[in-house]
Amino acid sequence: MKILKSAVIFGLVDGLTCGTGVLMSLHNHPSAILLAAIGLAIAEVIGMGCGEWLSDSGSFATPAAIGIASGVGALIPAFPYLFLTGIPAIALALVMVAVVAAGITWARHTPGSSWLRVVIETYGVLTAVLAATTLLGVLTQ
């Protein structure tokens, strides 16, 4: 069970950071976000799942968990673009990312570890992606 928990966390973080990166780098091209996110999710499921399977072909459960979690994570930031545009879509996407990150933080915490450290690590990764890809989006306007 611990191995699957780690696989899901790994997949979600990978997909969420990639999906957030696509969202923020394309924020000036909102019509491209959904298609890019769907393409990314497909690539995440296949790439991450098969990459894990090829590195350790003894199991199907772990590669499947990583692949599915990566695909889901990649789609989460784009979901609001199904029914919103502009600032409301970006705001809801970032709220959704923050909520999923809270779940990841909770799942990562172990007895005896510092909650503050786990929060800083999880949100630090997402903040780095947000900063770098927002800058990319601004520079490519």
**C-alpha–C-alpha distance, residues 17 and 22, integer Å:** 9
* Amino acid 59: pLDDT: 83
pTM: 0.91
Local structure of residue 18 (DSSP, 8 states): H
* Terminal CA-CA length for the chain: 45
Contact predicate 69/7, CB 8 Å: yes
Kindly indicate the confidence band of residue 74, based on its pLDDT and cuts at 50, 70 and 90: very high
